[in-house]
């Protein structure tokens, strides 16, 4: 018997697939029978991710998501080769931490472009009638607990992630008539290479304080990826418009 989370070789686009949450989501999706289109800026790191996936036939697409004008045409082009797409997991993101006084319009603009605008453009491209499976599909945006709670130095990042979860609610209503589900997932602090680098600059006491705010401890990319697979899977057909918090209890306090 196959798992109820089986994707039956449906195509799922995963952004930010070179490392971190994007790579973990791609790995978990492939383990549940999805064929994965890996999207990132660097071909060599995408190829490295592809080598870790379960099964065969996965593809890569080198694409800079800050180039919004190129997204729709690239997705349409590759869909002609691969066939109809089923889903999107937008895990790519950008974060700049700093006080309000240090925030510049250009910094905020870059975060909004990658975290919000590129996701909306990807959703538009994947959900096109000549691209998506006519039976419907599933779109998932990786947001953050910082879109829900406040934190010093995260005002612009929080604004971008709050925009993501707000957009998800409206998209879920708009696309429901075509059987396209739209959800978000909001992770707490997850131990990715980027996180480890950031924590290395802190004292042991500061790291301990952060860990204490997560009652179940810090998360791993796999913790988020498994939740992502659940929301994306064809079997969870009656779940749409939600923001699933996966944070080890951070927001429960």
At residue 199, the pLDDT reads 75
Dist. CA 183–CA 18, nearest whole Å: 22
CA 50 to chain centre: 17
Q: Tokens 């929080």 — which residue?
A: 158
Tell me, yes or no, whether 233 lies in a domain: yes
Tell me, yes or no, whether 201 lies in a domain: no
At residue 99, the pLDDT reads 79
Which residue in the list 86, 146, 157, 250 is annotated as catalytic? 157
Domain containing 103 — which CATH number?
A: 3.40.50.720
Residue 18 and residue 193 in contact, taking contact as beta carbons nearer than 8 Å: no
Tell me, yes or no, whether 131 lies in a domain: yes
Q: Indicate the average pLDDT of the chain.
A: 93
Checking if the pLDDT of 19 tops 80, the result is: yes
Report how far apart, in Å, the C-alpha atoms of 153 and of each of 88, 91, 235 are: 30, 22, 39
40's tokens: 């990132």
Q: Identify the domain containing residue 99 by its residue range.
A: 11-190+222-248
Three-state DSSP class for residue 61: strand
Most confident of 31-45, 95-109, 144-158: 31-45
Tell me, yes or no, if the pTM score tops 0.85. Answer: yes
Which region among 6-20, 37-51, 209-223 has the lowest average model confidence (pLDDT)?
Answer: 209-223
Instruction: List strands edge to edge, sheet with 180-187.
Output: 59-62, 35-40, 11-15, 87-90, 137-142, 180-187, 243-246
| Residue 185 parent element (H or E) | strand 180-187
Report how far apart, in Å, the C-alpha atoms of 20 and of each of 91, 131, 158 are: 9, 27, 20
Tell me, yes or no, whether 198 lies in a domain: no
Is 146 known to be catalytic?
no
**pLDDT per residue as tens digits for the range 60-118:** 999 999 999 999 999 999 999 999 999 999 999 887 777 788 888 988 899 899 999 99
At residue 2, the pLDDT reads 63
Dist. CA 84–CA 224, nearest whole Å: 26
Q: Tokens 């951070």 — which residue?
A: 250
Checking if the pLDDT of 4 tops 70, the result is: yes
Tell me, yes or no, whether 212 lies in a domain: no
Can you say whether the dihedral through the CA atoms of 107, 75, 245, 116 is positive or negative? positive
* Residue among 198, 168, 163 nearest 181 (CA): 168
At residue 154, the pLDDT reads 81
Which of the two residues, 198 and 94, has the higher pLDDT score? Answer: 94
Three-state DSSP class for residue 93: coil
At residue 211, the pLDDT reads 86
Tell me, yes or no, whether 160 lies in a domain: yes
Tell me, yes or no, whether 65 lies in a domain: yes
| Residue 35 parent element (H or E) | strand 35-40
**CB half-sphere exposure, 117, CA atoms < 13 A:** 15
Tell me, yes or no, whether 156 lies in a domain: yes
Q: How confident is the model at residue 44 (pLDDT cuts 50, 70, 90)?
A: very high
Q: Which residues pair with 187 in a beta bridge?
A: 246
Checking if the pLDDT of 1 tops 70, the result is: no
Query: For 153, left (φ over 0), alpha (ψ -120 to 50), or beta?
Result: left
Q: How confident is the model at residue 183 (pLDDT cuts 50, 70, 90)?
A: very high
Domain count, the chain: 1
Three-state DSSP class for residue 184: strand
At residue 93, the pLDDT reads 87
Q: How confident is the model at residue 208 (pLDDT cuts 50, 70, 90)?
A: confident
């Amino acid at each position: 018997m196959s798992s109820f989370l089986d994707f039956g070789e449906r195509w799922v686009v995963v952004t930010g697939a070179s490392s971190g949450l994007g790579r973990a989501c791609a790995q978990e999706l492939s383990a549940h029978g999805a064929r994965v289109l890996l999207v990132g800026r660097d071909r060599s790191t995408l190829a490295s991710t592809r080598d870790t996936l379960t099964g065969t036939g996965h593809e890569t697409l080198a694409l800079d998501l800050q180039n919004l004008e190129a997204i729709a045409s690239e997705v349409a082009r590759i869909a002609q080769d691969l066939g109809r797409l089923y889903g999107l997991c937008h895990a790519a993101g950008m974060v700049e931490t700093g006080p309000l006084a240090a925030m510049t319009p250009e910094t905020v603009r870059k975060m909004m472009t990658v975290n919000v605008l590129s996701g909306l453009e990807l959703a538009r491209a994947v959900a096109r009638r000549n691209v998506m499976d006519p039976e419907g599909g599933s779109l998932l945006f990786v947001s953050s607990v910082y879109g829900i709670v406040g934190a010093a130095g995260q005002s612009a990042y929080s604004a971008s992630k709050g925009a993501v979860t707000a957009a998800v609610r409206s998209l879920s209503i708009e696309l429901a008539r075509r059987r396209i589900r739209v959800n978000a997932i909001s992770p707490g602090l997850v131990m990715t290479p980027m996180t480890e680098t950031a924590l290395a600059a802190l004292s042991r006491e500061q790291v301990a304080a952060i860990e204490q705010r997560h009652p179940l401890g810090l998360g791993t990319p796999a913790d988020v990826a498994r939740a992502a697979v659940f929301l994306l899977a064809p079997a969870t057909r009656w779940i749409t418009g939600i923001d699933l918090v996966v944070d080890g209890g951070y927001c429960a306090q």
